[in-house]
Structure 1
Amino acid sequence: MAFGRRRQAEEPAEGPVSADEQVETAVDDEAPAEAASADGPWDSEESYPEMQRLDFGSMLVPVAPGLGFQVNFEATEVDEEGNPLDARPVAVLVQYGESAMQLQVFAAPKRTGIWEDVRAETAKDITEEAGGQTQEGEGPFGPELLAMVPAPLTEEVLAEMPDEIREQIPAEFVEQGWAPQIIRFLGVDGPRWFLQAVVQGAAIEDEEQWQVLEDVLRGTVVVRGDAPMPPRELLELKIPAEFSEATPEDEEENAETFNPFERGPEITEVR
């Protein structure tokens, strides 16, 4: 595999190197990082196809009919009772039909990818800590991970499910209080960044819904920036201007979707 049209980052100028730069370039003497496809996701420093995208700061995410967007937040300050007082955006959730895809982008070394290590660590966490099962395979972006984890099936969860989905759940799962949940992990190593996509819902088996999400992932542009960062540190996200420009009617309709302290679907994050 090769980066195709991806442009390698500029070599550092001679002179003193900061501690952060030492962290970032500690393994730069190895071979350049590789990407699974020359058709996207894209780096902002290369030529990429023009299309309507939402600007999340470190990610430009394509917009298409039927897509919904949610920003997941992580508390950065809590009160004495543990209630969040402040938070930062950590992930973008793309929703389509009965499917969801979480996107996160991280700093990575200039010349080596981290998806292989992240994939192995994710599989270990799922099998040893979550009591699930994993299987590696090849997908449109290269190696990926398919996981099956036990998900709680409480009365509240059942009540929120659409009737057509709830009726398909075997009675023994309802009696046991849990059901197997399939999660698909995809990763793309770029120049000094790593983009992870985690897919849940109907798109695991529904090709039409998956194709929509695949097009979103393939059309995403990563804006890495020049600042040195330790590998695996989240790149900064911001709220698109379109969110703040919503009308009062839109804000009322999307109040739950954009509540900064409400978690989206439970999706594993890279630590």
Structure 2
Amino acid sequence: MSEEQQGAADEVELHESDQVEIDESKSAPEDRAIAGPFDVTEVPAMRPYVDLGGIKVAPREGLQLRLEVDERAGRVLAVSLEYQGSLLQVQAFSAPKSTGLWNRVRAEVTQQMAAQGASVTEEEGQLGPELLVRTQAPAEQGGGERVVRFVAVDGPRWMLRGVIMGQAAVDTGARDGILELFRELVVVRGDQPMPPSELLPLRVPAGAQGQAQGQAEQQGGAQPA
């Protein structure tokens, strides 16, 4: 994965929409509570996960886990999961209890990416509405087309967003495996009050990168890169 692809999600920020009419309904598959992505209250306490704070990752063979860190601010911004030639970058955000964020955020992503010259297409996927974003790489960076796919699910008081890069962005078969990863994720919203669209805090597991790597390897092969 190129650094340009991996940073695609960072270019889109959540903010208040300028649109007059906002669809505040939740966007999620009907079987979300039993097939994921899960709220922490919906999974057995004894099931092993790599605990990253606001997100828990179910380990599996061949999965590589990396944390995207803002070193200046000293905080973790996103979790990147690399699997079978594709990359899934995930973030979880706080949301109201009875309304969702993805319908509004999807419109904002479309507007922002189009303003940057990208081609944006909305498609209906396994999780509901998703965005396929195509951009042209500068000639000095090798040129060619870059494809990124945005997916998201509204859960209880949270929204989990994923940015799919690599083969799974364009290949349905590869995407099935990445969406399985997405649906195995667990979101830990917490009880503290938070404004809508605030990023749920993430952390390095076990307090240190080396410890996190050992823990992930023992639990099924997930390794921080």
The two structures share one fold, judged by TM-score above 0.5: yes
Offset of residue 62 of structure 1: 1.5
Closer, same or farther: CA 35–50 of 1 in aligned 2, 3 Å: farther
Structure 2 distance, partners of 1:131, 1:201, is: 20
Structure 1 distance, partners of 2:24, 2:109, is: 24
Structure 2 distance, partners of 1:50, 1:212, is: 24
Q: Is the 8 A contact 2:121 2:131 kept in 1?
A: yes
**Aligned pairs, how many?**
190
4+ runs of 1 displaced by more than 6 Å?
none
Closer, same or farther: CA 244–205 of 1 in aligned 2, 3 Å: same
* Counterpart for residue 6 of structure 2: none
Offset of residue 243 of structure 1: 3.8
Structure 2 distance, partners of 1:96, 1:145, is: 21
Q: Is the 8 A contact 2:78 2:91 kept in 1?
A: yes
Structure 2 distance, partners of 1:195, 1:151, is: 28
State the one-letter code of the partner of 1:102: Q
State the one-letter code of the partner of 1:222: V
Q: Is the 8 A contact 1:32 1:110 kept in 2?
A: no
Offset of residue 180 of structure 1: 1.4
Q: Is the 8 A contact 1:96 1:209 kept in 2?
A: no
Where structure 1 has 5 or more consecutive residues not aligned to the other structure, the ranges are 1-29, 78-86, 158-176, 251-256, 259-271
Match of 1:230 among 183, 192, 195: 195
**TM-score (normalizing by structure 2):** 0.76
* Counterpart for residue 72 of structure 1: 68
Closer, same or farther: CA 228–49 of 1 in aligned 2, 3 Å: closer
* Counterpart for residue 40 of structure 2: 44
**TM-score (normalizing by structure 1):** 0.64
Closer, same or farther: CA 48–220 of 1 in aligned 2, 3 Å: farther
- Does the alignment pair 1:220 with 2:206? no
Q: Is the 8 A contact 1:108 1:114 kept in 2?
A: yes
* Counterpart for residue 210 of structure 2: 244
Q: Is the 8 A contact 1:33 1:191 kept in 2?
A: no
Offset of residue 96 of structure 1: 1.3
Give the match's secondary structure for 2:42: coil
Match of 1:55 among 51, 58, 76: 51
Pairwise CA RMSD = 2.5
How do 1:108-119 residues align onto structure 2 when only pairs under 5 Å count? 108-119=95-106
* Counterpart for residue 123 of structure 2: 137
Structure 2 distance, partners of 1:209, 1:243, is: 29
Structure 1 distance, partners of 2:27, 2:173, is: 28
Structure 2 distance, partners of 1:228, 1:45, is: 18
Structure 2 distance, partners of 1:48, 1:116, is: 30
- Does the alignment pair 1:35 with 2:28? yes
Q: Quick check: which has more Rg, 1 or 2?
A: 1
* Counterpart for residue 11 of structure 2: none
Closer, same or farther: CA 131–204 of 1 in aligned 2, 3 Å: same
Question: Which moves more between the two structures, 48-57 or 206-215?
Answer: 48-57
